[in-house]
A and B are shown apart, each in its own frame.
Chain A
Amino acid sequence: MTGQPAPTVSGIGLVPNGRYSIPDRDLALGVIREAVAEAGIDLSAIDGLYMPSPRPWTPQGFFSTYLHRLLGLETRRSIEVATGGTSGGHAFHAAVENVRSGAVEAALVLALERHSLIETTGPYFDYVATLFDREFETPIGLTIPGVYAQSLRRYLFEYGIEREDVAEIVVKNRRNARANPNALFDEAVTRREVLSSRPIADPIRLYECPAPCDGAAAVVITDGPSDGAAEPPVSVAGIGAHHAASHLLMSHRNEPTELPAIAESASRAVADAGVGVDAIDVFEPYTPFPHIEAIFAEELGLVGRGEGVDACLDGTTAPDGAHPISPSGGCLGRGHPPMVTPLLNHVEAVKQLRGTASTQVDGAEYAMTTAEHGHVNGVTATVFTTEAPA
Chain B
Amino acid sequence: MTSYTEPFWSALEEGRFLIHGCDGCEEAFFPPSPICPHCHSTDVRWEEASGEGRIHTYTRQHTTAADFEDGIVVGVVELAEGPRLLAGIDARYEALSIDDPVDLEVRRYDQAFDRGRLADSPFYVATVRSE
Interface residues of A (CB under 8 A from B): 120-122, 125-126, 128-129, 132-133, 135-143, 145-146, 149-151, 153-154, 157, 198-204, 245, 249-250, 252, 256
Contacts and interface: CB of A to CB of B under 8 A. Distances in A.
A126 B87 contact: no
A198 B62 contact: yes
Nearest to B60: A202
B88 A154 contact: no
Given A133-B31, A157-B98, A141 B111 contact: yes
Interface of B: 5, 29-31, 37-38, 56-69, 72, 74-76, 83-88, 93, 98, 109, 111, 113, 115, 118, 123
Nearest to A252: B37
Given A135-B118, A139-B111, A153 B58 contact: yes
Contacts, number: 109
A374 B28 CA distance: 25
B83 to A, nearest CB: 8
A243 to B, nearest CB: 14
A255 B60 CA distance: 20
A157 B66 CA distance: 31
Given A252-B29, A252-B37, A126 B64 contact: no
B89 to A, nearest CB: 10
Contacts of A202: 59-60, 62, 93
Contacts of B115: 135, 139
A201 B57 contact: no
Nearest to B38: A252
Nearest to A128: B65
A208 B37 CA distance: 34
A135 to B, nearest CB: 6
A256 B75 CA distance: 12
Given A136-B31, A141-B111, A153 B59 contact: yes
Given A136-B85, A139-B113, A199 B62 contact: yes
Contacts of A136: 30-31, 85-86
Given A136-B31, A136-B85, A252-B37, A143 B123 contact: no
Given A121-B66, A252-B38, A137 B61 contact: no
Given A250-B84, A256-B57, 16 more contacts: A120-B63, A121-B64, A121-B65, A122-B66, A142-B61, A142-B74, A142-B86, A143-B65, A150-B76, A153-B59, A200-B62, A201-B62, A202-B60, A204-B59, A249-B76, A252-B38
A202 B92 CA distance: 13
A129 B113 contact: yes
Given A136-B31, A139-B123, A153 B57 contact: yes
Contacts of A198: 62
B57 A141 contact: no
A252 B31 CA distance: 11
18 contacts: A121-B66, A129-B67, A135-B5, A137-B86, A139-B111, A140-B86, A141-B65, A141-B69, A146-B59, A149-B61, A153-B57, A154-B98, A199-B62, A201-B59, A201-B61, A202-B62, A249-B76, A250-B85
Nearest to B85: A136
Contacts of B58: 150, 153
Contacts of B63: 120-121, 125, 143, 200
Contact of B113 (A121, A141, A143, A145): A141
A146 B56 CA distance: 14
A249 B29 CA distance: 15
6 tightest Cβ-Cβ pairs between the two chains A and B: A141-B68, A125-B65, A149-B59, A154-B57, A150-B57, A146-B61
